[in-house]
């Protein structure tokens, strides 16, 4: 699990990128994408992104200001302040503690996922 890195999101902004994706889909390299190849590509994609994981990754990167793969209480505080939330660094420390399963005082991506699911659905998670 520790070997899993956060991949940078792919932006198809130029033709090179599009060609790269084309090559990925075009498994028999005939320069055309047939239905079979396209279906394979879609299937591969569906396997990869389970329920908006990409969006979460992007959000995580937004919070992780120094890009060390961990969100510290100061980073969380800075972002929340920017978002207009009124909270102190202490509040952020408490927030991090509530999801910090490995107890290092930082939020890694796994813990971030937990934090986000806590926020979006109601906090009461049954017995
Ligand atoms: Ca960080
Ligand atoms: Ca942690």
pLDDT tens for the chain, 127 residues long, are: 555 666 655 554 677 877 787 788 788 888 887 888 777 777 765 555 456 788 889 999 999 999 999 999 999 999 999 999 999 999 999 999 999 999 999 999 999 998 888 655 444 444 5
Q: 101 C-alpha vs ligand 2 centroid, how far in Å?
A: 6
Tell me which residue of 66, 69, 43, 41 sits closest to 57, measured CA to CA. 69
pTM: 0.55
Residue 68 has a pLDDT of 97
- Give me the residues near ligand 1 (ion), CB cutoff below 5 Å: 64, 66, 68, 70
Ranges of each domain in the chain = 15-48, 53-120
Q: 14 C-alpha vs ligand 1 centroid, how far in Å?
A: 30
Residue 123 has a pLDDT of 45
Residue 108 has a pLDDT of 97
State the number of CA atoms in the 13 A half-sphere of 98 facing the CB. 13
Q: 119 C-alpha vs ligand 2 centroid, how far in Å?
A: 17
CB-based contact 91:116 (threshold 8 Å): no
Residue 125 has a pLDDT of 45
Distance CA 64, CA 57 (A): 10
- Give me the residues near ligand 2 (ion), CB cutoff below 5 Å: 100, 102, 104, 106
Residues 6+ apart with CB under 8 A from 76: 63, 92, 95, 96, 107
Q: What is the DSSP letter of 79?
A: H
Give, in order, the Cα–Cα distances in Å from 53 to each of 29, 84, 86, 104.
30, 25, 27, 23
Assigned CATH topology for domain 53-120: Recoverin; domain 1 (1.10.238)
Residue 66 has a pLDDT of 97
């Amino acid at each position: 699990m520790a070997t899993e890195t956060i991949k940078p999101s792919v932006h198809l902004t130029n033709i090179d990128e599009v060609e790269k994706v084309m090559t990925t889909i075009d498994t028999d390299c005939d320069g055309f994408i047939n239905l079979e190849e396209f279906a394979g590509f879609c299937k591969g994609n569906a396997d990869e992104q389970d329920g908006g994981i990409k969006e979460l990754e992007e959000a995580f990167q937004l919070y992780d200001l120094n890009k060390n793969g961990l969100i510290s209480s100061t980073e969380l505080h800075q972002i929340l302040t920017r978002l207009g939330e009124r909270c102190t660094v202490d509040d952020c420390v408490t927030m991090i503690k509530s999801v910090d399963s490995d107890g290092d005082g930082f939020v890694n991506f796994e813990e971030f996922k937990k934090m986000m699911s806590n926020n979006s659905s109601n906090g009461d998670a049954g017995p």
